[in-house]
Structure 1
Amino acid sequence: MSNQAVNTSPLSTHEPGVVGIYGVSGSGKSTIKTNLSQALAQEFIFYEGTEVLLKAVKRDLQAFKNSDEQTRLQGRTQAIRNIVQSSTESGKVAVVTGHFALPSKQESIFHEIWTPADEASYNLIVYLEVSPDHLAKRINQDENRGDRKVRDPEQLRDWQEQEIHGLRAKCYSNNILFVSVNNDDPSAAKITIEKILKAFSRHSEKKQSAQLLSKLESIFGPAPQKKEDPKPHDAVLVFDGDKTLASQDTGELMLPKTNTSDQATPLKQLFSSDLGYSFAAWSQAALLYDALGDDAAFDKQCEDVAVQVNIHPVFVEMLKSTRDTKHVRAIVVTCGLQRVWNKVLEKAGLSDVLRVVGSGRFSEGFVVTPEAKKQVVERLQKGYRQYVWVFGDSESDLPMLQAADDAILVVDGQKRSQSTQDKIRAALSDGLRPRQLLMSGPGSSWLKDTRAPVIYMNNLEFRKALSGDFHLMHTSDTSACKLLATPMRDASISSATLRKAHQNAGEYIARELIAKKIGLQQYDTDHVQEGKTTDGWRLFHENKITIIALMRGGEPMALGVSEVFPQAMFLHAKKATNVLPEHLHGQSTVILVDSVINGGGTAVEYVKRVRGLRPTIQVVVVTGVAQKDAVKEKGKMEEQLKGCGEVTVVALRVSENSYQGKGGTDTGARLFNTTELEKGREDGQQDGQQDGQEDGQEDGQEDGQEDGQKDGQEDGQEDGQKDGQEHGQEHGQQEVVAQPGSAA
């Protein structure tokens, strides 16, 4: 035989794929292959591995066994290449039976026959696992295979375990899916494998994305097609399941260690392999669930796990509160099993407020990956125009935490793996700025990092926006206020100087009050020492803030606020309807700025406009001076804003003086030096009123005289007619009475 080196370089990616049916002698490979070929002939093409091999080497089995190792390697390499070519040409998935290891001459040692070409060719290995006693019995009773040696159960166990462990390691290292299916009952095994093969033929990341969008539509309905189309909600809360909603990990409970010798659970072994957290890894995880038994056994195990899972009470309380609002919707997006989490939510009484998008078994055809979680968030943001809060805890949640409008890192007191800690810290260095929500009280966090500040459940902005109260913050009694307010109150100061004073006040309010209200966010900035960085600070979610200047008086102060928060959006508004949905989409906070609050009516109008467009957004109203009756507890603004959630007024000072400037004393007129114009308008209005009154009096007198003369004439005519009639009647009566007397 030739000693020429064998080409074992990986094959190029091929479609539609190759599946191996593996197992030790007597495991039932040929029987399963035959039964499957009868059911799946349209989509798959089936091969007996030994037959393909002997055809490739053009010799009988014994001659092949007697050949040297190099020849056997060449033969096995050519055989699998022929199968790949046949699959590609036919357009069908190839299914081939095979061995991973065979007994050596010493009988107690098993020699691997897996080749580099196998690593490059297979996409899925289905291993038929049979109990050693069953195996020994089958081999003993198989009269058609006299070439098989009867082995004791212990030896068969060793052979089988070596193949399973060896194949799993090879598959995990080479992006090949692997599943071990119990074949003590061939009819049950055939049903399971048939489902797996059907799912495999349709399995791709692209198809999973299409299914994901379909699942979202089943929950939220069709996405709005036009800007004017109503949104289903304002905010969506997206929760991871394991170790986020609950402290337990359902995957670890479903797939515990199989024996005491294992260093880790099956899932930990998987995700610590070369597959990492890839699509293949999550597909592999789904395959592990297929190995748990038939539908009834699987459902029973899901039920048993769900009983052990308890959702954090603070989440139960918060989620139940969303029943009372149409503005917030919540979903679980988990790489874990959807069936388990549906049962967990049902047990907690949350099935009506929390839907689940989760993985199934591989045979069920849907797998959720970290990338899929991110796709959910982006679809909700862009397709459904929702503000998305994400609650997660681990490495697999990082993509959706990074995509979130608001990222919440849930910390339950349990220490995370070093790998997870490293990945989260790396994400912080790359710009992720989550807030930590502690489930176990202060001091329980493993992440001591100022880039991830702690927040408490009741302080989550969407909760306060829906059910919060009216608040007032001011600096009336401070030295800074006295100094800043002096030029603002000085009647001799106007125009650019006054605008500068208002801008200075806006900057001070931004640094002193707004920063305290909204909070700060740490980021890395270059240090003056070359090559070093130091901590920098900016307003929390500064790039998700809209500053609205209420024109015209609010503009100078708003510019001061903008000067301190340069990443914020800036908007002018002459009336509340100037505020449009696109000004608030994806924003966390709106800051309304007016120079003065007298009765508060204007500010209230704007707040209600904002709340109508974005019910869960944080609202802050900024002013230089607020009239006490308007902003006091149970004052005018609080009464008018009932039902509007939390609204915070931040003012430089609060005044008990109820004087309201008009015309030349109006703040806007002073700011823009239009006092003379305003006075002219005011004088014109007064003159107009006086002229109107005088004209009205003159017209009234003239009209009165004319009406009097007219009325006198009419009355005289009426009276004359009346008197004449009366006199005539009287004279006639006298004449009639006198005639008889005369006659007498």
Structure 2
Amino acid sequence: MKLVLYGISCSGKDTFINTFLTEHSCFKHIHGSKRLSEISNEKYGADFQKLPAETQNNIRKAFVSKLTNMNNIIVDGHYCFPSDNEFETVFSDEDKNLYDVFLYLRVKPEDAHTRISVSDKNKKFKNLCIEEISQWQDKEISELRDICFADHKEFIVLDEDFNLNLQFLNLYISSYPKMTAIETARHIVSQIKEQASNSKKIALFDCDRTITKEDTTIPFFELNNGHNKLLKEIFRGDVYTQYQFWRQQELYKNFSVYPEIKQFTYNNCVLDKLELLKNDGYSIFGLTAGIYNIWKQINGEEDFFTNVIGNNLQADSVGIITDFVKGYVVELLQNDGYEVFSTGDSMCDIYMLEKTGGLIWAPEKVRPIVQKYIDVHSETKIMQYKNNPYKYKGITEVAQCFIHLMNRLIIFL
């Protein structure tokens, strides 16, 4: 297995890797910047940083080529650097093709700012403010995320808690490739095919804040004395990789009190679309990264879906559902000739929606990070519900029939 760990300067990559090696001695640490400097001096007799950009890129390619036949390595790397009010990307196709798993060590921008301010090695970044450091990190995460998804590479964002990072990686590495997004998606697709009708039409519905107006996770945490602030911290920046959902599962795996589902209200506009698809011969599946047992109960009473598939790690049913998994489920179904519709509300649904030209719902307000995604991805295929009072700029609106409103009027009359 070839691992690479990315992160902005002073994010703690070396410290983390040294900690990682104490539990994974079979891995060898390849020091990216150190090795680049050695190649530079050996071949050009000059410091790497003083060489022209083209020569630096050639050295990076030579470095990557030397790792091709090596196994069980972990390499520290950089994706880009701030340069003249912009960013210079140093990530290459050779990097993309070499590694199996892309790890990203995310750090709080204010912490990185403090470390950079006292680092002689990184003195060229001392003029960066906290907001600029945040932009640097956000750019790296969002672009690596897109690259890895498109190339079927694993992308996992870690955080400052090295102990939890290692607990997760121990599980991940020991079960590799079972926990990978593509393998999880294959397992889910197998279930869908078994449970779907003879039709080659599949509809995938996100659940929380799409079918329900509420996030059912919130009362679940409150009932079990959980800390919602911690949950928000885990998913800060709308990052939805295996690590974040594993941490969520660790928080609630011992919770036993479930909310009364009668407290939840349903999104009639989305349910209208669901009914139309049912009438058109689609098999409907709830694909949730939320609390599986809650949605299993909801579906038992409401019969929205053919089945609910979700994060139920205690039963070791389908692995961890992430943004990548949702996207790959669509891709695999489409590759097998299925017509697929999807709808959702958040960045966790983006790749699923992108693959289908699906409909996004804005719950209570437009999500700024989704709007940013749309702004950056001008070629997006995602559309939105015309009847939603909250609209994203730059994407097509699709009208819906008012089935549930009509049913209420019929009952009233």
Per the normalisation by structure 1, the TM-score is: 0.33
Aligned partner of 1:188 among 152, 160, 164: 164
Contact 1:53/1:79, CA 8 A, preserved across alignment? yes
Residue in 2 aligned with 1:335? 287
- Structure 1 segment 235-254 matched on structure 2, within 5 A: 243=205, 248-249=210-211
Residue identity in the other structure for 2:157: S
Identity %: 17
The 2-side partners of 1:31 and 1:161 are apart by 22
Aligned partner of 1:38 among 12, 15, 22: 22
Residue in 2 aligned with 1:113? 90
Residue in 2 aligned with 1:159? 136
Larger radius of gyration: 1
- Structure 1 segment 654-673 matched on structure 2, within 5 A: none
Structure 2 vs 1, CA of residues 125 and 67 (structure 1 numbering), >3 Å: closer, same or farther? same
Is residue 97 from structure 1 mapped to residue 76 from structure 2 by the alignment? Answer: yes
Is residue 146 from structure 1 mapped to residue 120 from structure 2 by the alignment? Answer: yes
Once the two structures are TM-superposed, the CA of residue 311 in structure 1 deviates from its matched residue by 9.2
Residue in 2 aligned with 1:395? 341
Structure 2 vs 1, CA of residues 309 and 37 (structure 1 numbering), >3 Å: closer, same or farther? farther
1:192-248 CA-to-partner distances (Å, cap 9, x unmatched) read 4544555554456895588569989xx99xxxxxxxxxxxxxx999x9886498992
Structure 2 vs 1, CA of residues 112 and 336 (structure 1 numbering), >3 Å: closer, same or farther? same
Contact 1:394/1:420, CA 8 A, preserved across alignment? no
Is residue 345 from structure 1 mapped to residue 292 from structure 2 by the alignment? Answer: no
Once the two structures are TM-superposed, the CA of residue 20 in structure 1 deviates from its matched residue by 2.0
Structure 2 vs 1, CA of residues 31 and 55 (structure 1 numbering), >3 Å: closer, same or farther? same
Contact 1:250/1:336, CA 8 A, preserved across alignment? no
1:253-307 CA-to-partner distances (Å, cap 9, x unmatched) read 699xxxxxxxxxx99xxxxxxxxxxxxxxxx96548548757217999xx89x87
2:68 counterpart SS class: helix
Once the two structures are TM-superposed, the CA of residue 73 in structure 1 deviates from its matched residue by 0.8
Structure 2 vs 1, CA of residues 348 and 189 (structure 1 numbering), >3 Å: closer, same or farther? same
More RCO (CA 8 Å, sep 6+): 2
* RMSD of aligned Cα (Å): 5.6
Contact 1:246/1:310, CA 8 A, preserved across alignment? no
Contact 1:24/1:99, CA 8 A, preserved across alignment? yes
Residue identity in the other structure for 1:130: V
Contact 2:158/2:165, CA 8 A, preserved across alignment? yes
Structure 2 vs 1, CA of residues 208 and 198 (structure 1 numbering), >3 Å: closer, same or farther? same
The 2-side partners of 1:181 and 1:340 are apart by 22
Once the two structures are TM-superposed, the CA of residue 348 in structure 1 deviates from its matched residue by 6.6
Aligned partner of 1:28 among 12, 16, 39: 12
Once the two structures are TM-superposed, the CA of residue 96 in structure 1 deviates from its matched residue by 1.3
Residue in 2 aligned with 1:365? 319
Task: Structure 1: state its 5+ residue gaps.
Answer: 1-15, 221-234, 256-265, 268-283, 316-330, 378-391, 398-414, 422-437, 445-744
The 2-side partners of 1:147 and 1:156 are apart by 16
Contact 1:102/1:112, CA 8 A, preserved across alignment? yes
Contact 2:4/2:99, CA 8 A, preserved across alignment? yes
Task: Structure 2: state its 5+ residue gaps.
Answer: 218-236, 272-282, 344-357, 361-379, 384-400, 408-413
1:65-118 CA-to-partner distances (Å, cap 9, x unmatched) read 11222221111111122223212xxxx3x32111112244x5x54422112312
Contact 2:172/2:179, CA 8 A, preserved across alignment? no
1:465-495 CA-to-partner distances (Å, cap 9, x unmatched) read xxxxxxxxxxxxxxxxxxxxxxxxxxxxxxx
The alignment covers a number of residue pairs equal to: 306
1:146 counterpart SS class: coil
Once the two structures are TM-superposed, the CA of residue 372 in structure 1 deviates from its matched residue by 9.9
The 1-side partners of 2:11 and 2:159 are apart by 10
Contact 2:214/2:264, CA 8 A, preserved across alignment? no
Contact 1:21/1:126, CA 8 A, preserved across alignment? yes
Structure 2 vs 1, CA of residues 202 and 41 (structure 1 numbering), >3 Å: closer, same or farther? farther
Contact 2:203/2:284, CA 8 A, preserved across alignment? yes
- Structure 1 segment 375-386 matched on structure 2, within 5 A: none
Residue in 2 aligned with 1:718? none
Is residue 440 from structure 1 mapped to residue 394 from structure 2 by the alignment? Answer: no
The 2-side partners of 1:309 and 1:370 are apart by 28
The 1-side partners of 2:45 and 2:95 are apart by 20
Contact 2:189/2:332, CA 8 A, preserved across alignment? no
Structure 2 vs 1, CA of residues 251 and 77 (structure 1 numbering), >3 Å: closer, same or farther? farther
Once the two structures are TM-superposed, the CA of residue 23 in structure 1 deviates from its matched residue by 0.8
1:646-682 CA-to-partner distances (Å, cap 9, x unmatched) read xxxxxxxxxxxxxxxxxxxxxxxxxxxxxxxxxxxxx
- Structure 1 segment 464-543 matched on structure 2, within 5 A: none
Residue in 2 aligned with 1:424? none
1:495-542 CA-to-partner distances (Å, cap 9, x unmatched) read xxxxxxxxxxxxxxxxxxxxxxxxxxxxxxxxxxxxxxxxxxxxxxxx
Structure 2 vs 1, CA of residues 117 and 373 (structure 1 numbering), >3 Å: closer, same or farther? closer
The 1-side partners of 2:214 and 2:204 are apart by 10
The 2-side partners of 1:240 and 1:343 are apart by 23
